[in-house]
Chain A
Amino acid sequence: MARIRVVDIRNFRCLKSFTWRPSSGINCLIGSGDAGKSSVLDAIDLCLGARRSLSFSDADFHGLDVSAPISISITLGELDDSLKSMEVYGNYLRSFDAAAGEIDDEPESGKETVLTLNLSVKNDLEPVWTLISERSEAQGQTRYLTWSDRNRLCPTRIGAFAENDLAWRRGSVLTKLSDEKAETSGAMAEAARQARAAFGDIAEQQLSATLGIVGTTARELGIDIGTQPKALLDAHSVSFSGGTIALHNEAGIPLRGLGTGSARLLVAGLQRKAAKEATVILIDEVEHGLEPHRLVRLLQSIGSKETPPPLQGFLTTHSPVVVRELSAEQLTVLRRGKDGHHARVVGTKAEIQGTLRLFPEAFLSSSVLICEGASEVGLVRGIDQFRTAGGKVPMQAVGVTLVDANGCDNLYRRANAFHSLGYRTNVLRDDDKQPDRGIEETFSKAVGAIFRWREGCALEDELFASLPADAVTALLAHAVKLHGEELVGAHITSASGGKIALAACRKAVTPETRTCLAKACATKNNPWFKSVTAMEHCGREIVGPALAQCDAGFRAIVERIFAWIDDGRA
């Protein structure tokens, strides 16, 4: 029952203007830390929730500007009959064209019938809920959902703590599992009477002096209260409010004492069972308190793998486990643009799904550098670690992730995927093999300029040609350490056609040995540094420290790469 078709938020916290058409299943919001993910969940919760009042403050207004009212509109589709009743909501029924994404003010044959709910807050901070339609506005009519409909629509929110839903409170998921009700008021009243009887006249002894004064005064004033006033327990003061009945385990311990993760998992599972009544579930930081395997169970318990989706979930996450577990169309990137916030679904294409499985972290960052191979990834990481040791901010801290394209052919498929989702994206590639020129030109134009080693060069060519002599010697020493003298020597001999031996390379660094080593290092079988770990070590221990003494052309490329990385901070 009832799924959100369109969300429209104005002037709410960090969201100046945000229009979003979520999917009818799981919508997991990802994006950088201050992108407004939680504000979107809050907005949905505030607009759809069944609270009689809410307290707003100036801080809830975008940029603290209280002159621009907060307005949260939610258009609901898949309405049940009572929400489509002409008798109750006739003047507010509208239609939604899913294909065009457009709302029309009146129902239309062949289109979905929808209702638009709005929560507005002006500078008086009073929340006002109304149903929206142009024709009712023209007629000066206003109304909102009936209380029973509001309660039915109320979404379940699983925040940091799930204890509210582990008791029979208004709107809690337990009340939506069935129509059963526990009749408590009679028992409570009886308990209050018994308490009064049990308490008896204990107070009379403890308060005898006061009672004496009251009795005397009353007599003096001619007020008839009998011979002596009594101090009894006021039955009305023994009050029990909502949430009186809560879930307990076998030993009688309240379930709100469960660990955070277990409580959240249980509530999510219950929500799945209540899906017929309440379809919308909101989960902040879905990974909170859950190990990866329990996190996966939570996602599956809310129907992440089911078609059609039983629940419409609005989730936020910073966990690669969640990104990897969900499908690309269940992930939405939320991003702040110049003209307000935008939401983009990660996608439905197979290559996106593959990238998602391999590099979930990249989707949680703000900048992505697509590297042609593992050695580029290692080099950049190594140099970054060297710079960090020297006091620079690490690239992870500015939200940059490196992605291994595993070859020239995948470079732009991955790069374009990230770029189209609004990630700050760039490419670092070898030049021994060129990608399709047209594709590269289009991409370069969009991002400014890409990074590549000089003409015809692979990374190994650049390193052995550009590093100062002692750094070249150090690279060779590291290769020997990794692969042994025998193998490295054989590679050198083979690369030089038997003209140069390992010993010669160790002795002196000449243009010939540089060329030979560059070739020897990149053999098909057992290349010396073609792994992230190996090249990361080279970058940190050798290239980074030697960068200042490097050939200017190579140094310029590396410096441009780090300038781009540092730019992510802005």
Chain B
Amino acid sequence: MAAPEIDLLEIERGAITAPAGCGKTQLIAGALSRHSKSKPILVLTHTNAGVAALRGRLDRARVASSRYRLATLDGFAMRIISMFPARSGHNPAILQLASPGSDYPAIRKAAVALLEAGHLSDVLRATYDRLFVDEYQDCSAVQHALAKVMGDALPSCVLGDPMQAIFGFKGNTLVDWDNDVHATFGSAGELGTPWRWKNAGEEAFGHWLLEARKTLLADGSIDLTSAPKNVVHVLLDGSNDHAIRLKVCLTKAPTADGCVLIVADATKPAEQRRFASQTPGAVAAESVDMRDLVEFANAFDLGHAQALDRLVNFAALVMTNVGPDDLLTRVKTLRAGRARKEPSEVERAAMEFAGKPSYAGASAVLAAISKDAGVRTHRPPVLRGCHRMFQACGSHDGLSLLDAAVQVREQSRLIGRPLARRTVGSTLLLKGLEADVCVILNPDVMDSRHLYVAMTRGSRRLVICSDKATINR
């Protein structure tokens, strides 16, 4: 193996700026596999999905699991305060996470206080060789404080890219790369080899994206005319924009098994789903909170007179061409014995459910609809989740539908998202995913960071819909 650009094991305290696709994960995996001391390296990141993704990468790189401990920042904070409750002095109720909105901040605060008092410095040094924090740009101020105080006890290296910090919103101010991160850890370098594109044989494209990153960092404008041939500009004319965008959504991947990511307006989830339902073969990326499933679970009641209506309308939410109104009318007619035509598979399942409502019956209705001619599931994770939820309720007495939905949601949170061949979503949903082609439908509503994240999703081709050849910031 060639020497790494930067040796993380040599860094006592430092921050590494890692533009998208420049081998950050490989850098971590490489350092962990070279690490030969007896104590493991503590690797922290933000989300469970991030942990799952990193663990997958490390397993594929055959890094022995004894060399590292991988956790989310919040998970680690919960571990230490529950391990040393008296020193932390927190209210034990916060660990139940009954009200996550206030419990997580309380947990983080307690963990920082526990570490700042120095009670664990000795133990941390005895337990871990050093600390890596991944996706550091997503740290909130209190998470930064946590990493900072851990950095006083352990050699530490934080990695991230301020240009990919897109999870800041009101009430969750993220670290400032210069004023917080570099000031605390010092700069330990910036990655400059666009591996994702180099590996795809499109190195020039990668370098152009690195240049674009610099331009965006300075809030400059991107000139699409000077871009390499990998970048395709689709001109919007202002009258047929939706039709043009739908056509662009069909862009083919240049390779046989290639994947396409379609980035729509992040502020309009309904529109993302509309593109997914109107584009053959596309699925919508789902948010980890599975809100539609939880809402359906909350409203659905087997004993309610409207149960079938709710079920069929939910089906229409996750599948295309369901025609819920026609189906419901037909069932009414059939049940009244006034129908002349024999019931279809779907209608039979629906009638059975209407006559004797059960979770298994509800699942059967959804399964029949999904197999019906012309019907296509454009939100498979939600449909799958719904089946699992019905199954869990059918086999466990007393489990409420809502509890089952929450279980399903938490499981899928841990598992992460497998990538479909053609996925429609927003930068928030697609960050961290990589494909061959990326299509950006609304670049003009995105800020520099969102645009940069979107532009760097495809390794071979980037398609941008805009009414002009220059993207102004």
Residues of A within 8 A of B (CB): 79-87, 90-91, 93, 105-110, 113, 135
Are the CB atoms of A107 and B127 closer together than 8 Å? no
The 9 closest A-B pairs by CB, nearest first: A84-B126, A109-B118, A81-B126, A86-B127, A90-B83, A85-B127, A106-B84, A106-B87, A109-B119
User: In the complex, which of the residues B39, B87, B126 has the most CB atoms of chain A within 10 Å of its own CB atom?
Assistant: B126
A107 and B69 form a contact (CB under 8 A): no
Q: Flag if B38 contacts A107 (CB, 8 Å).
A: no
In this complex, which of B83, B117, B118, B121 has the most chain A Cβ atoms within 10 angstroms of its Cβ? B83
Which residues of A lie under 8 Å from residue B85 when comparing CB positions? Answer: 106, 135
Rounded to whole angstroms, the CA-CA distance of A85 and B79 in the bound complex is 14
Which residues of B124-173 have CB atoms within 8 Å of chain A's CB atoms? 124-127
Q: Which residues of A contact B38 (CB under 8 A)?
A: 81-82
Q: Mark B67-104, 1 if CB is under 8 A from A, else 0.
A: 00100000000011001111100000000000000000
Q: Tell me whether A109 and B121 are in contact (CB under 8 A).
A: yes
B244 within 8 A of A: no
Find out whether the CB atom of B83 lies under 8 angstroms from the CB atom of A91.
Answer: yes
Tell whether B123 is near chain A: CB-to-CB under 8 Å.
yes
Contacts of B126 in A (CB 8 A): 79-86, 113
11 contacts across the A-B interface (CB closer than 8 A): A81-B125, A81-B126, A84-B122, A85-B39, A86-B120, A90-B127, A91-B83, A105-B86, A106-B85, A106-B119, A109-B117
Number of interface residues, chain B, beta carbon within 8 A: 22
Cα–Cα, bound, A224→B295 (Å): 73
Q: Which of B79, B83, B118, B122 contacts A113 (CB 8 A)?
A: B122
The listed residue (A80, A82, A93, A110) touching B123 by CB distance below 8 A is: A93
Residues of A within 8 A of B84 (CB): 90, 106-107, 135
Complex CA–CA separation, A105 to B84 (angstroms): 9
B124 touches A81 (CB 8 A): no
Docked CA distance A451–B10 (Å): 77
B129 CB → nearest A CB, Å = 10
C-alpha spacing A335/B187, complex, angstroms: 64
A86 to B128, CA, bound (A): 9
Asked if B40 is an interface residue, CB under 8 A from chain A, the answer is yes
CA distance A135 to B80 in the complex (A): 13
Q: Which of A87, A91, A110, A113 gathers most chain B CB within 10 Å? A: A87
- Chain A's closest residue to B120 (CB) is A107
Minimum Cβ distance to chain A for residue B132 (Å):
16
By a CB distance below 8 angstroms, the chain B residues around A91 are 83
Q: Which chain A residue lies CB-closest to B118?
A: A109
> Is A81 a contact of B39 with CB atoms below 8 Å?
yes
* Distance between Cα atoms of A107 and B69 in the complex (Å): 21
Closest A residue, CB atoms, query B121: A109
Contacts of A84 in B (CB 8 A): 122-123, 126-127
**Chain A, residue nearest B38 (CB):** A82
- Inter-chain contacts of B79 with A (CB < 8 A): 90
- A32, B333: Cα distance in complex, Å: 103
Please give the distance in Å from B115's CB to the nearest CB on chain A: 10
Known contacts: A82-B38, A87-B40, A87-B69. The answer to whether A107 contacts B123 by CB under 8 A is yes
Total contacts A-B at CB 8 Å: 60
Of all chain B residues, the one with the shortest Cβ separation from A91 is: B83
Chain B, residues 34-73, CB within 8 Å of chain A (1/0): the string is 0000111000000000000000000000000000010000
Shortest Cβ gap from B123 to chain A (Å): 5
User: Bound state CA distance, A83 and B87, in angstroms?
Assistant: 20
> Contacts of A105 on B, CB cut-off 8 Å?
86
CB distance from B36 to the nearest CB of A (A): 15
CA distance A90 to B119 in the complex (A): 13
A107 contacts B122, C-beta separation under 8 Å: yes
Residues of B within 8 A of A113 (CB): 122-123, 126
**Smallest CB–CB gap between A87 and chain B, Å?**
6
A93 to chain B, nearest CB (A): 6
Residues of chain B within 8 A of A108, CB atoms compared: 87, 119
Question: In the docked arrangement, what's the CA distance between A85 and B124, Å?
Answer: 8
Q: Give the Cβ gap from B77 to chain A, nearest Cβ, in Å.
A: 13
Bound: A110/B122 CA distance, A: 9
**CB of B120 to closest CB in A, whole Å:** 6
Measured between beta carbons, the chain B residues less than 8 angstroms from A90 are 79, 83-84, 123, 127
CA distance A311 to B191 in the complex (A): 51
Chain A: minimal CB distance from B325 (Å): 55
Residue of B nearest to A85 (CB): B127
In chain B, what residue has the closest Cβ to A83? B126
Tell me if B119 and A86 are in contact (CB < 8 A).
Answer: no
How many angstroms between the C-alpha atoms of A93 and B86 in the bound complex?
12
Tell me whether A86 and B40 are in contact (CB under 8 A): no
Which of A81, A107, A110 is within 8 Å of B87, CB to CB?
A107
Return the chain A residue nearest B87 by Cβ: A106
Query: Once bound together, how far apart are the Cα atoms of A80 and B84, in whole Å?
Result: 20
List the A side residues contacting B118 at CB < 8 Å: 109-110
Q: What is the CB-to-nearest-CB distance from B112 to chain A, in angstroms, rounded to a whole number? A: 15
Report how far A379 CA is from B80 CA in the complex, Å.
71
Known: A81-B39, A109-B117. A86 touches B86 (CB 8 A): no
- How many angstroms from the CA of A90 to the CA of B122 in the assembled complex? 12
Alpha-carbon separation in the docked complex, A110 to B85 (Å): 18
Query: CB-CB < 8 A to B120: which residues of A?
Result: 86, 107
Which A residue sits closest to B86, measured CB to CB? A106
Min CB gap B366→A, angstroms: 42
What residue in chain B is nearest A92 (Cβ atoms)?
B83
Question: Contact between A86 and B39 (Cβ–Cβ < 8 Å)?
Answer: no
What residues of A have a CB within 8 angstroms of the CB of B69 in the complex? 87
- Measured in the bound complex, the distance between the Cα atoms of B119 and A107 in whole Å is 6
Which partner residue on chain A sits nearest B69 by CB separation? A87
Complex Cα gap A11–B242 (Å): 85
Q: Are B83 and A86 in contact (CB under 8 A)?
A: yes
State in angstroms the CA–CA spacing of A84 and B126 once bound together: 6
Check A86/B123 contact, CB under 8 A, given A106-B86, A107-B87: yes
A84 to B39, CA, bound (A): 11
* Residues on A with beta carbons closer than 8 Å to the beta carbon of B123: 84, 86, 90, 93, 107, 113
- Distance between Cα atoms of A266 and B13 in the complex (Å): 49
How far apart sit A107 and B126, CA to CA, in the bound complex (Å)?
A: 13
* CA A86 to CA B38, docked complex, whole Å: 14
For A85, the chain B residues whose CB sits under 8 A away are 39, 126-127
Q: How far does the alpha carbon of A91 sit from the alpha carbon of B38 in the complex, in Å?
A: 21
Most B Cβ at <10 Å: residue of A86, A87, A108, A135: A86
In whole angstroms, what is the CA distance A107 to B40 when docked? 21
Rounded to whole angstroms, the CA-CA distance of A287 and B397 in the bound complex is 73
Roughly how many angstroms separate A106 CA and B124 CA in the complex, as a whole number?
Answer: 14
Given the complex, which residues of A lie within 8 Å of B121, measured CB to CB?
109
Q: How far is A93 from B120 in the complex, measured between Cα atoms in Å?
A: 10
Quote the shortest CB–CB distance from B66 to chain A (angstroms): 10
Question: Nearest chain B CB to A271's CB is how many angstroms away?
Answer: 24
Residues of A within 8 A of B40 (CB): 87
Residue in B closest to A86 when the chains form the complex, CB atoms? B127
CB distance from B461 to the nearest CB of A (A): 45
Question: Considering the chains assembled together, what is the distance between the CA atoms of A107 and B122 in angstroms?
Answer: 9
Q: Which residue of B lies closest to A79 (CB)?
A: B126
Q: Which residues of A have CB within 8 Å of B127?
A: 81, 84-87, 90
Q: 12 new A-B pairs (CB below 8 Å) besides A109-B117, A109-B118, A110-B118?
A: A81-B39, A82-B126, A86-B83, A86-B124, A86-B126, A90-B83, A93-B123, A106-B85, A107-B84, A109-B121, A113-B122, A113-B126
Write out the residue numbers on chain A whose beta carbons fall within 8 Å of the beta carbon of B125: 81
CA distance A84 to B119 in the complex (A): 13
Nearest CB on B from A92, distance (A): 10
**CB-CB < 8 A to B86: which residues of A?**
105-106, 135
Distance, CA A261 to CA B83, complexed state (A)? 49
* Bound Cα distance A80, B125 (Å): 11
Give A81 to B119 CA distance when docked, in angstroms.
16
With a CB–CB cut-off of 8 A, which chain A residues contact B117?
Answer: 109
Residue of A nearest to B79 (CB): A90
CA distance A106 to B90 in the complex (A): 14
A115 to nearest B CB, angstroms? 11
- Please name all residues of chain B whose beta carbon is closer than 8 Å to the beta carbon of A79 when the two chains form the complex: 126
Question: Nearest chain-B residue to A113 (Cβ)?
Answer: B122
B87 proximity list for chain A (CB < 8 A): 106-108
